[in-house]
Protein backbone atom coordinates (compact mmCIF):
# COMPACT_ATOMS: atom_id res chain seq x y z
CA UNK A 1 0.00 0.00 0.00
CA UNK A 2 1.46 3.33 -1.09
CA UNK A 3 0.88 6.32 1.19
CA UNK A 4 -0.88 9.22 -0.53
CA UNK A 5 0.14 12.70 0.67
CA UNK A 6 -2.06 15.69 -0.17
CA UNK A 7 -0.55 19.16 -0.72
CA UNK A 8 3.15 18.32 -1.34
CA UNK A 9 4.19 21.80 -2.53
CA UNK A 10 3.57 23.52 0.81
CA UNK A 11 5.74 23.66 3.91
CA UNK A 12 3.78 21.61 6.48
CA UNK A 13 3.27 18.61 4.13
CA UNK A 14 7.04 18.65 3.52
CA UNK A 15 7.46 17.69 7.20
CA UNK A 16 5.60 14.49 6.38
CA UNK A 17 7.50 13.90 3.12
CA UNK A 18 10.94 14.23 4.70
CA UNK A 19 9.86 11.79 7.40
CA UNK A 20 8.61 9.26 4.82
CA UNK A 21 11.88 9.52 2.89
CA UNK A 22 13.96 9.07 6.08
CA UNK A 23 11.85 6.00 6.97
CA UNK A 24 12.14 4.62 3.39
CA UNK A 25 8.37 4.48 2.95
CA UNK A 26 6.89 4.59 -0.56
CA UNK A 27 4.47 7.44 -1.23
CA UNK A 28 2.67 9.30 -3.97
CA UNK A 29 1.55 12.91 -3.86
CA UNK A 30 -1.71 14.62 -4.75
CA UNK A 31 -1.40 18.39 -5.38
CA UNK A 32 -3.89 20.75 -3.72
CA UNK A 33 -3.80 24.38 -4.93
CA UNK A 34 -4.41 26.61 -1.91
CA UNK A 35 -4.45 29.72 -4.09
CA UNK A 36 -7.38 28.26 -6.06
CA UNK A 37 -9.11 27.31 -2.79
CA UNK A 38 -8.98 23.56 -3.48
CA UNK A 39 -8.50 22.95 0.26
CA UNK A 40 -12.06 24.21 0.80
CA UNK A 41 -13.66 21.88 -1.79
CA UNK A 42 -16.40 19.73 -0.20
CA UNK A 43 -14.59 16.54 -1.25
CA UNK A 44 -11.38 17.68 0.42
CA UNK A 45 -13.24 18.78 3.58
CA UNK A 46 -14.45 15.19 3.97
CA UNK A 47 -10.78 14.23 4.43
CA UNK A 48 -9.73 17.27 6.47
CA UNK A 49 -12.62 19.17 8.11
CA UNK A 50 -10.45 22.23 8.85
CA UNK A 51 -9.53 22.58 5.16
CA UNK A 52 -5.76 22.37 5.60
CA UNK A 53 -2.84 20.36 4.26
CA UNK A 54 -1.34 17.82 4.79
CA UNK A 55 -3.64 14.82 4.96
CA UNK A 56 -2.52 11.28 4.24
CA UNK A 57 -4.48 8.27 3.06
CA UNK A 58 -3.01 4.84 3.66
CA UNK A 59 -5.51 2.20 2.58
CA UNK A 60 -8.65 3.13 4.48
CA UNK A 61 -6.72 5.02 7.18
CA UNK A 62 -6.85 8.83 6.97
CA UNK A 63 -4.76 11.10 9.20
CA UNK A 64 -4.03 14.82 9.34
CA UNK A 65 -1.80 17.23 11.31
CA UNK A 66 1.77 16.94 10.03
CA UNK A 67 3.44 16.14 13.37
CA UNK A 68 0.83 13.46 14.21
CA UNK A 69 1.52 11.84 10.81
CA UNK A 70 5.29 11.96 11.45
CA UNK A 71 4.82 10.25 14.82
CA UNK A 72 2.56 7.60 13.30
CA UNK A 73 5.06 6.53 10.64
CA UNK A 74 8.09 6.89 12.92
CA UNK A 75 6.40 4.43 15.30
CA UNK A 76 4.87 2.10 12.71
CA UNK A 77 8.22 1.64 10.94
CA UNK A 78 10.39 1.91 14.03
CA UNK A 79 13.09 -0.46 12.80
CA UNK A 80 13.14 0.72 9.15
CA UNK A 81 15.20 3.65 7.83
CA UNK A 82 16.45 6.37 10.16
CA UNK A 83 15.68 6.00 13.90
CA UNK A 84 13.60 9.12 14.68
CA UNK A 85 12.06 8.55 18.13
CA UNK A 86 15.10 7.74 20.26
CA UNK A 87 16.06 4.35 21.67
CA UNK A 88 14.41 4.59 25.11
CA UNK A 89 11.23 6.11 26.51
CA UNK A 90 13.41 8.82 28.08
CA UNK A 91 15.00 9.65 24.72
CA UNK A 92 11.59 9.77 23.10
CA UNK A 93 10.49 12.15 25.88
CA UNK A 94 13.25 14.54 24.82
CA UNK A 95 12.41 14.16 21.12
CA UNK A 96 8.82 15.08 21.99
CA UNK A 97 10.01 18.01 24.10
CA UNK A 98 11.92 19.52 21.19
CA UNK A 99 9.14 18.76 18.71
CA UNK A 100 6.84 20.77 21.00
CA UNK A 101 9.38 23.58 21.18
CA UNK A 102 9.38 23.62 17.37
CA UNK A 103 5.57 23.50 17.19
CA UNK A 104 4.92 26.09 19.89
CA UNK A 105 7.85 28.50 19.78
CA UNK A 106 9.41 28.24 16.34
CA UNK A 107 6.49 27.54 14.04
CA UNK A 108 4.16 30.40 14.89
CA UNK A 109 6.56 33.30 14.37
CA UNK A 110 8.00 31.76 11.16
CA UNK A 111 4.49 31.07 9.88
CA UNK A 112 3.65 34.73 10.42
CA UNK A 113 6.79 35.77 8.51
CA UNK A 114 5.76 33.50 5.61
CA UNK A 115 2.26 34.98 5.56
CA UNK A 116 3.33 38.60 5.91
CA UNK A 117 6.43 38.60 3.70
CA UNK A 118 5.78 35.88 1.12
CA UNK A 119 2.00 35.56 0.78
CA UNK A 120 0.37 38.85 1.79
CA UNK A 121 0.15 40.46 -1.64
CA UNK A 122 -0.86 37.17 -3.34
CA UNK A 123 -3.60 36.71 -0.74
CA UNK A 124 -4.68 40.32 -1.16
CA UNK A 125 -3.97 41.87 2.23
CA UNK A 126 -1.31 44.36 3.33
CA UNK A 127 1.71 42.90 5.15
CA UNK A 128 2.14 44.20 8.69
CA UNK A 129 5.69 45.45 9.49
CA UNK A 130 4.95 45.30 13.25
CA UNK A 131 4.08 41.57 13.04
CA UNK A 132 7.20 40.95 10.94
CA UNK A 133 9.37 42.72 13.51
CA UNK A 134 7.77 40.96 16.50
CA UNK A 135 7.98 37.55 14.82
CA UNK A 136 11.62 37.99 13.93
CA UNK A 137 12.37 38.91 17.55
CA UNK A 138 10.71 35.70 18.82
CA UNK A 139 12.83 33.33 16.74
CA UNK A 140 15.81 32.12 18.73
CA UNK A 141 15.95 28.31 19.06
CA UNK A 142 15.92 25.58 16.40
CA UNK A 143 16.20 21.73 16.31
CA UNK A 144 15.15 18.76 14.05
CA UNK A 145 13.38 17.50 10.88
CA UNK A 146 10.20 19.31 11.73
CA UNK A 147 12.02 22.64 11.47
CA UNK A 148 13.13 22.07 7.89
CA UNK A 149 10.18 23.29 5.78
CA UNK A 150 9.72 26.68 7.37
CA UNK A 151 13.46 27.23 7.89
CA UNK A 152 13.78 26.65 4.15
CA UNK A 153 11.41 29.60 3.56
CA UNK A 154 13.44 31.67 6.03
CA UNK A 155 16.64 31.00 4.10
CA UNK A 156 15.34 30.88 0.53
CA UNK A 157 12.35 33.22 0.18
CA UNK A 158 12.07 35.63 3.08
CA UNK A 159 15.40 37.43 2.96
CA UNK A 160 16.08 36.29 6.55
CA UNK A 161 19.02 33.93 6.05
CA UNK A 162 21.03 36.20 8.36
CA UNK A 163 18.89 34.96 11.27
CA UNK A 164 20.50 31.57 10.80
CA UNK A 165 23.95 32.64 9.59
CA UNK A 166 24.48 35.14 12.43
CA UNK A 167 24.33 32.24 14.94
CA UNK A 168 27.36 29.99 14.60
CA UNK A 169 25.83 26.82 16.04
CA UNK A 170 22.46 27.32 14.37
CA UNK A 171 24.25 27.88 11.07
CA UNK A 172 26.23 24.64 11.44
CA UNK A 173 23.02 22.81 12.39
CA UNK A 174 21.27 24.19 9.33
CA UNK A 175 24.07 23.08 6.99
CA UNK A 176 23.96 19.66 8.58
CA UNK A 177 20.23 19.08 8.44
CA UNK A 178 19.41 20.84 5.16
CA UNK A 179 22.08 18.77 3.36
CA UNK A 180 20.45 15.48 4.29
CA UNK A 181 19.63 13.50 1.11
CA UNK A 182 16.02 13.18 2.31
CA UNK A 183 15.52 16.96 2.34
CA UNK A 184 17.14 17.39 -1.08
CA UNK A 185 14.81 14.72 -2.42
CA UNK A 186 11.78 16.49 -0.94
CA UNK A 187 12.81 19.82 -2.46
CA UNK A 188 13.07 18.14 -5.88
CA UNK A 189 9.37 17.26 -5.58
CA UNK A 190 8.63 20.93 -6.10
CA UNK A 191 7.27 23.93 -4.24
CA UNK A 192 4.18 26.05 -4.81
CA UNK A 193 4.18 28.99 -7.20
CA UNK A 194 2.61 32.28 -6.24
CA UNK A 195 -0.31 33.25 -8.50
CA UNK A 196 0.68 35.98 -10.97
89 binds its own copies (CB under 8 A): yes
Query: Which DSSP string do the residues of 4-26 spell out, in sequence order?
Result: EEE-TTSHHHHHHHHHHHHTT--
Closest by CA to 182, choosing from 52, 70, 96, 78, is 70
Q: Three-class SS of residue 133?
A: helix
Closer CB to its own copies, 68 or 172, in the complex: 68
Residue 71 makes contact with its own copies by CB under 8 A: yes
Stretch that binds its own copies, among 20-28, 103-111, 113-121, 154-162 (CB under 8 A): 103-111
Asked if residue 17 lies in contact with residue 66, where contact means CB atoms within 8 angstroms, the answer is no
- Among positions 43, 46, 79, 104, the unique one binding its own copies when judged by CB under 8 A: 104
Contact residue for its own copies among 45, 94, 122, 194 (CB under 8 A): 94
Q: Does 9 bind its own copies (CB under 8 A)?
A: no
Element (H, E) at 59: none
Using CB under 8 A as the binding rule, whether residue 134 contacts its own copies is answered as no
Q: Phi, psi (5° rounding) for residue 121?
A: -70, -35
How many residues of this chain bind its own copies (CB under 8 A)? 27
From the CB of 44, what's the least distance to its own copies, in Å?
Answer: 16
Nearest to 120 by CA among 37, 193, 191, 194: 194
120 binds its own copies, rule: CB under 8 A: no
Task: Report yes or no: 136 and 160 within 8 Å, Cβ to Cβ.
Answer: yes
Per rule CB under 8 A, is residue 105 in the interface with its own copies?
yes
Does 110 bind its own copies (CB under 8 A)? Our answer is no
Distances (CA, A) of 2 to 49, 50, 80: 23, 24, 16
Residues that bind its own copies (CB under 8 A): 50, 61, 63-65, 67-69, 71-72, 75-76, 89-90, 92-94, 96-97, 99-101, 103-105, 108, 141
Amino acid sequence: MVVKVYGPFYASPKRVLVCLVEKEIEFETSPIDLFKGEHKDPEFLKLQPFGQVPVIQDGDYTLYESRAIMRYYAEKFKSQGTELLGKTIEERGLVEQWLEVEAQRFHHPVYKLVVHILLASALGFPSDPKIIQESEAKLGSLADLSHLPFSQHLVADLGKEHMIRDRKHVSAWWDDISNRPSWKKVLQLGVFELPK
